[in-house]
Structure 1
Amino acid sequence: MDPPRLSRSPSDDDESSPILGNFGSETSLILVHDDEPSTPFSISDDADDDEDPQSPELEVRRHWSPAMQPSLVFLYLLSPYLKLGAMLLPNTQLPLKFGIPALAVFAVLTAFARQIWYMLARYFRKADFEDLVLDAFARGRGKERLRAWLRTMVRAGTGMLRVLLAAIYLREAVHNILPVLPEDLPVPPRPALTVAFALVLAPFASAETLVAKRVVYATGASILSYIGWFTCVAVAHAHGTLQINPGWLRMGAFWQGITVTAFAFTSSSTLALYASLKAGIPHSGLSKSPATRSFRTLSSLSVGLAVGFTLPLAFFAAQMPAVILQDPLDLQTPIVAFNSLTLLLGIPSILVTTPSLPVSERLQRSTTIPISKYLLFVLVVLLTLVPTRIARILSDILLASACMSTFFLPAAIHITVHFFKQPLSIVIPQRPATPSAADELLQRKEDALQRRQWRKRVIWDIGVWVLLLPVGGGGFVWGFGRIVGKW
């Protein structure tokens, strides 16, 4: 089935956009060779700019993204995988026949989902999550109210996910330390420790971007702390002294073996990191970028390294000791300390990427203090102190939201854009002049390129449908069954 003949320009109703405003009618014609079309969405383009020259017509623009070096982008791509989900894996007790395939499947799916986000950014020539969702579901004239409603929902959903994630991290960091504290403390240990940890995190609450040095150092230290935790867990398992993480008993009904594996490979901020990587690449005409600046390469390396630090945990889960032996090394205390430190140091990067609260402009002008960021931080601390019954519900909401945003949402947007919308134009000008023979030839070229793009995208479409129906649909059915108590 060929794609529709009529195609729309990427800025047919948004010509004043700072991202696409320079695509005028006189500059939108580009030279396209028959043997290798240079288009915004093709398999040849998907290897990033190391295989595709930096053409001004195809460049993804997001001028407010801070420039990042590839090493820093790699740091933030890897960090989400080495947090709470991975540290709960040894407690799942999944047999290897389920644990290994589940880990492999979700590792592949998270890399695939990141690639879909990247391809969507290339297709729309935008790397802002909000704008991408709006263009996918509410593009065109007369949809201003829908766009405003969608923008509010996207910001609220993103903020809820970030706040819940930070709150659960902080809560678990506190609870993990409580068992090793003295019993005769003069003050209630949980509120006191929560306040102490909040004071430690307070300087990070005002950070503006992910390139802030204190956020970079905290994120790097969290990865090192995870490596320390991983080493202690491996030694304890080898000596038969590995114990169940108490946090496993505090989680909600959705936290089962396979779902925890899926949560371990959830991540966010993919589009922002891609835009920052592109912002850090110097413009050099049509020269190619090195492979070290390829987003797909960095994403694949981060997933591969994450698998290396989580795969042994699947073996630990299948071979938990039935009887805990006495260990002269007493590794339980460093395990708990590294666990809490990893979660605590992972919070700053979450706070930075949390959308701000709607604060009045008059209040913003009256002070230089980032009021919205501190209000969000206070909300995170307050959610840490909720009763266990409510915390379990919040943890279930977090798991479901994280899995949906990582695996289901990019697939849904891809399907919407490429199956229910007219394709964006490749060579047709934004505002075509009076029809002529040249226009007819250009339309034929457009149709030929659209057919070629459709054929190249078939394999990706199949993968997206698999991600949307068996994975996403199966997850919805399983979650509904857990809620009603069927399994």
Structure 2
Amino acid sequence: MPDLEAPSSSSPLTRPDPLSLVIDDDDDQRPLVTYSGRPSHRSSPSSDSPVYESAVDPTTPLILAHNDDDDDEEEEEDRDAERPLALDFSSSDEDNDDLDDSLSPLYQINGKLSIPPLPPFTIFVYLLSPYLKLGALLLPYYQLPLKYGLSGLLISAVVAVVARHLLYLLSRYLRKADLEDVVSHTFVSTKKRGRKGERRREFFKFLVRFGTAALRVLLTVVYLHECVHFALPLIMPVAPLRQSSTELGLAMGAIVLALLLSYPGSLASRVVVYSTNLSVFTYLLWLVAVTYLYTQGTLPINPERLNSRSIWEGLITTAFIFTSSNTLPLYASTKGTIQSLLFDAETSLTLPTSGTTPSTGNSRRDGSLKQPLYRSFKFLSLLSIAMAVGLTLPLVGFAAFPNNTPSAPASGTGIQTYVTPALASLTLLLAVPQLLITIPTFPAATLAILATYYFPAILHILDHTFKSPLSIILPSTYFSSSFSVQPTPSTTIMNLPTPGPSSGLGVNAGDILLQRKERALQKRQMRRRIVWDIWAWVIFFGGFVVLGAKARILGSV
């Protein structure tokens, strides 16, 4: 048995080598955990086992040793996690400034669009067409100074751009595709839920639909009226007795033709698209004809507009050029076109993982999609207004420097008499389908019921409750025979008739009988009034009962 030598106290203490333990996990490799031993005051059992001594020493500290390869992998994973996906559209402020160029699925088209998804060129034509109509056709016939005409045109164009962009921003902020939803959301708080809040929203939606319908109906009537007015010179001069019948015939023909063009009932139909494009084309031809007449000195001047109010009327006409009412429906149509390409299951355009669709746009640096410029509603809106300014700017010069003494040469007679009025009339007539088709629809049955049952009751209540009753007028002979007037130095005293014997009172027996008949007639009329008032109030409050029952039935369903 070998002898065990005890270590001397003078022998130097050596630090053992660290013990490295590698812990493997199923998913990833953990950092290396190293046990580092301290200088031990005890002598090891054997000089060949320092590792064992450091491993079993309870005072041994733990040291975390980082692995550079694992750190690189973790940093790469963190960067991948922070990097947005191909279609991760956030709602930060930077993205909100350019949401129109990002195909954001946040803006979803709910319900049926008033204007179906259309190609960008068709949307551009629908944006441009209202600017090249009645206001532009009437502008050269006003004697408007250049400083007023040019400034009015530019200011109206800028205000139109700002107003249209405000509607666009509001629609994008509220994520609403129609003006009805925007107005109802503005005037009714989102906190008001339930039947009461829904009734208020429906009320404001009805007001918007009614106002929009009234505006477009009035524009249609004005367009047809001016269309007939421009078309009258095309017909040979007729006798004054036959002029009204001629105007009526032209009006009926224009109405029938406008209804035939509007029969498809959709702005996506080829008939309506072609008619709108043709309307823009006829305006361009009209502008060429008017320019030719102006250069030849034969542009006519309307004598009805040569008055002191021509400046104000010219400014109103200039502002009327840039009026339109299809901003939000056309914007929704643009978004609907993009979403139909990207999110419709029936289309063949599928979004790859890279977030790039060749037919719709390119990928941004952050991975989101960027649509082409021609699909941007902001670009189409700005381009339409800029083109409208360019196409109406010559008319401002014609109005500022009119042909005061037109010479009317032979070459310009045909253009002045036939070509210019015909083109102006066609321009207005071909623009009517765009107005008629976009008129909101109303429930005919509901309106008929309200007009038949509810409207007379409301008129009865307003007339007999909130207005003073009509006076009963008696003949003057009644006062002369019934009243005795006694003049005095200071005033005149009138003795009213009293019932009783007629002697000494100035009242005849016939007057008393007339008063009794009048009282009896008034009593009978009062009884009838009370009965009909009850019926009117029953119908009035019955309407609210019917509305409540309707809401309850729809709520239960």
Match of 1:55 among 101, 104, 110: 104
Contact 1:177 1:336 in 2 (8 A): yes
Contact 1:106 1:262 in 2 (8 A): yes
Match of 1:348 among 417, 423, 433: 433
Contact 2:262 2:272 in 1 (8 A): no
Residue matched to 2:236 = 182
Q: Secondary structure of the residue that 2:109 maps to in structure 1?
A: coil
User: Is residue 308 of structure 2 the alignment partner of residue 223 of structure 1?
Assistant: no
Task: Give 5+ residue unaligned stretches, structure 1.
Answer: 1-30, 364-487
Flag the structure with larger Rg.
2
Within 2, Cα distance between the matches of 1:344 and 1:246? 25
Give the drift of 1:209: 1.9
Residue matched to 1:136 = 186
Q: Secondary structure of the residue that 2:410 maps to in structure 1?
A: coil
Q: Are the structure 2 counterparts of residues 268 and 203 from structure 1 closer, same or farther at C-alpha, using a change threshold of 3 Å?
A: same
Counterpart mapping for 1:123-202 below 5 A:
123-140=173-190, 141=192, 142-184=196-238, 188-202=245-259
Give the drift of 1:32: 11
Q: Are the structure 2 counterparts of residues 123 and 168 from structure 1 closer, same or farther at C-alpha, using a change threshold of 3 Å?
A: same
Question: Which has the higher relative contact order, 1 or 2, with Cα contacts under 8 A spaced 6 or more apart?
Answer: 1
Q: Secondary structure of the residue that 1:143 maps to in structure 2?
A: helix
Give the drift of 1:155: 1.1
Residue matched to 2:325 = 268
Within 2, Cα distance between the matches of 1:46 and 1:73? 23
Give the drift of 1:39: 6.2
Within 2, Cα distance between the matches of 1:43 and 1:161? 38
Q: Are the structure 2 counterparts of residues 63 and 151 from structure 1 closer, same or farther at C-alpha, using a change threshold of 3 Å?
A: closer
User: Is residue 143 of structure 2 the alignment partner of residue 98 of structure 1?
Assistant: no
Within 2, Cα distance between the matches of 1:40 and 1:245? 56
Counterpart mapping for 1:247-262 below 5 A:
256-262=313-319
Alignment-mate amino acid for residue 164 of structure 2: R
Aligned-residue identity in percent: 41
Q: Deviations over 1:375-398 (max 9, x none)?
A: xxxxxxxxxxxxxxxxxxxxxxxx
Within 1, Cα distance between the matches of 2:94 and 2:221? 40
Q: Deviations over 1:170-221 (max 9, x none)?
A: 0000011113312347782100111111221221333322111111111001
Within 1, Cα distance between the matches of 2:409 and 2:98? 50
Q: Secondary structure of the residue that 1:147 maps to in structure 2?
A: helix
Contact 1:172 1:340 in 2 (8 A): yes
Within 1, Cα distance between the matches of 2:427 and 2:83? 50
Residue matched to 2:263 = 206
Within 1, Cα distance between the matches of 2:426 and 2:304? 14
Within 1, Cα distance between the matches of 2:289 and 2:149? 21
Within 1, Cα distance between the matches of 2:312 and 2:275? 27
User: Is residue 337 of structure 2 the alignment partner of residue 280 of structure 1?
Assistant: yes
Alignment-mate amino acid for residue 49 of structure 1: D
Task: Give 5+ residue unaligned stretches, structure 2.
Answer: 1-81, 343-350, 356-367, 449-557
Q: Secondary structure of the residue that 1:202 maps to in structure 2?
A: helix
Give the drift of 1:253: 9.9
Give the drift of 1:168: 0.2
User: Is residue 442 of structure 2 the alignment partner of residue 357 of structure 1?
Assistant: yes
Within 2, Cα distance between the matches of 1:146 and 1:237? 55
Match of 1:293 among 359, 367, 375: 375
Within 1, Cα distance between the matches of 2:264 and 2:147? 44
User: Is residue 394 of structure 2 the alignment partner of residue 312 of structure 1?
Assistant: yes
Structure in which a larger fraction of residues adopt strand:
2
Q: Secondary structure of the residue that 1:360 maps to in structure 2?
A: helix
| RMSD, aligned CA | 2.8
Give the TM-score normalised by the residue count of structure 1.
0.62
Match of 1:75 among 99, 122, 125: 125
Residue matched to 1:64 = 112
Q: Are the structure 2 counterparts of residues 42 and 183 from structure 1 closer, same or farther at C-alpha, using a change threshold of 3 Å?
A: farther
Q: Deviations over 1:109-155 (max 9, x none)?
A: 11111111111111011111101110011133143333232122111
Within 1, Cα distance between the matches of 2:119 and 2:107? 18
Alignment-mate amino acid for residue 309 of structure 1: L
Return 173-182 or 279-288, whichever deviates more. 279-288
Q: Secondary structure of the residue that 2:100 maps to in structure 1?
A: helix
Q: Are the structure 2 counterparts of residues 95 and 362 from structure 1 closer, same or farther at C-alpha, using a change threshold of 3 Å?
A: closer
Give the drift of 1:40: 5.6
Q: Are the structure 2 counterparts of residues 320 and 254 from structure 1 closer, same or farther at C-alpha, using a change threshold of 3 Å?
A: closer
Within 1, Cα distance between the matches of 2:175 and 2:205? 19
Alignment-mate amino acid for residue 100 of structure 2: D
Within 2, Cα distance between the matches of 1:246 and 1:164? 26
Give the drift of 1:156: 1.0
Alignment-mate amino acid for residue 109 of structure 1: V
Give the drift of 1:77: 0.4
Contact 1:60 1:122 in 2 (8 A): no
Alignment-mate amino acid for residue 397 of structure 2: F
Contact 1:68 1:280 in 2 (8 A): yes
Residue matched to 2:419 = 334
Alignment-mate amino acid for residue 200 of structure 1: L
Counterpart mapping for 1:385-464 below 5 A:
none
Residue matched to 1:401 = none
User: Is residue 395 of structure 2 the alignment partner of residue 302 of structure 1?
Assistant: no
Within 2, Cα distance between the matches of 1:314 and 1:253? 14
Give the drift of 1:90: 1.0
Give the drift of 1:248: 6.0
Structure in which a larger fraction of residues adopt helix:
1
Q: Deviations over 1:405-431 (max 9, x none)?
A: xxxxxxxxxxxxxxxxxxxxxxxxxxx
Q: Deviations over 1:6-57 (max 9, x none)?
A: xxxxxxxxxxxxxxxxxxxxxxxxx999xxx96669575444532x3x232x
Residue matched to 1:120 = 170
Contact 1:41 1:119 in 2 (8 A): no
Contact 1:130 1:155 in 2 (8 A): yes
Q: Are the structure 2 counterparts of residues 147 and 41 from structure 1 closer, same or farther at C-alpha, using a change threshold of 3 Å?
A: farther
Contact 1:241 1:324 in 2 (8 A): yes
Within 1, Cα distance between the matches of 2:94 and 2:267? 30
Within 2, Cα distance between the matches of 1:248 and 1:62? 48
Give the drift of 1:102: 1.1
Contact 2:227 2:424 in 1 (8 A): yes
Alignment-mate amino acid for residue 221 of structure 1: L
